[in-house]
């Protein structure tokens, strides 16, 4: 029994622990403290990365309803050639919903990102029934492809200096 008591009590003498048990309203306050969220790359950074190698693979989900070639046909949705920087509902030869023609503005990078994330939220009563794309990476890849699908692609978004990757010095010889 003595051996059992020594084995049970001995760790308390060798290990210093200073734990305070918190109960009641103080414990609830600890659980509701805000957590720090680490931000990923910005939309501009992701578009710049995707624009290095714009791929039609990213556009596959869109091809059932849209064409993005110069002079290509309208399908269920309008042809998307020259869409980046264009006015919503402004492509000739396509019958847009009233919601789309009255949206206003231009299809800049942020507007496209918002629309591709949730079309029916960005333009309520749009004819587009697609649910949207979940990840900003996927949306950026499609936006970069659409940007490249143009006679004169609009400039890439500027990445703030503090977010730009550092240049590595040239190897010395």
Domains located in the chain, CATH noted: 51-152 (1.10.760.10)
What average pLDDT does range 117-142 have in this prediction? Answer: 95
Q: In the predicted model, is pLDDT for residue 168 greater than 50? A: no
Checking if the pLDDT of 15 tops 80, the result is no
89-117 pLDDT tens trace: 999 899 999 999 999 999 999 999 999 99
- SS3 letters across the chain: CHHHHHHHHHHHHHCCCCCCCCCCHHHHHHHCCCCCCCCCCCHHHHHHHHCCCCCHHHHCCCCCCCCCCCCCCCCCCCCCCCCCCCCCCCCCCCCCCHHHHCCCCCCCHHHHHHHHHCHHHHCCCCCCCCCCCCCHHHHHHHHHHHHHCCCCCCCCCCCCHHHCCCCCCCCCC
pLDDT band at 20 (very low <50, low <70, confident <90, very high): low
Q: Would you state the pLDDT for residue 39?
A: 73
- For residue 148, is pLDDT > 70? yes
For 28-81, the pLDDT digits (tens) are 555 555 556 567 899 999 999 999 999 999 999 999 999 999 999 999 999 999
Provide the mean pLDDT of the chain. 82
pLDDT at 163: 46
pLDDT(11) > 50 = yes
pTM: 0.71
């Amino acid at each position: 029994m003595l051996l059992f008591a020594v084995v049970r009590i001995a760790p308390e003498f060798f290990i210093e622990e200073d734990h305070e048990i918190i109960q009641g309203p103080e414990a609830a306050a600890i659980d509701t403290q805000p957590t720090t969220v680490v931000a990923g790359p910005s939309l501009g950074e992701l578009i710049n990365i995707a624009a290095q190698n714009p791929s039609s693979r990213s556009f596959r989900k869109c091809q059932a309803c849209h064409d993005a070639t110069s002079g290509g046909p309208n399908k269920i949705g309008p042809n998307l050639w020259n869409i980046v920087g264009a006015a919503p509902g402004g492509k000739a030869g396509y019958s847009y919903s009233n919601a789309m023609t009255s949206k206003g503005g231009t299809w800049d990078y942020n507007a496209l990102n918002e629309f591709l994330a949730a079309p029916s939220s960005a333009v309520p009563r749009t004819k587009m029934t697609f649910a949207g794309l979940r990840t900003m990476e996927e949306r950026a890849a499609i936006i970069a492809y659409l940007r490249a699908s143009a006679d004169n692609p609009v400039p890439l978004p500027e990445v703030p200096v503090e977010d730009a990757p550092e240049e590595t010095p040239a190897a010395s010889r």
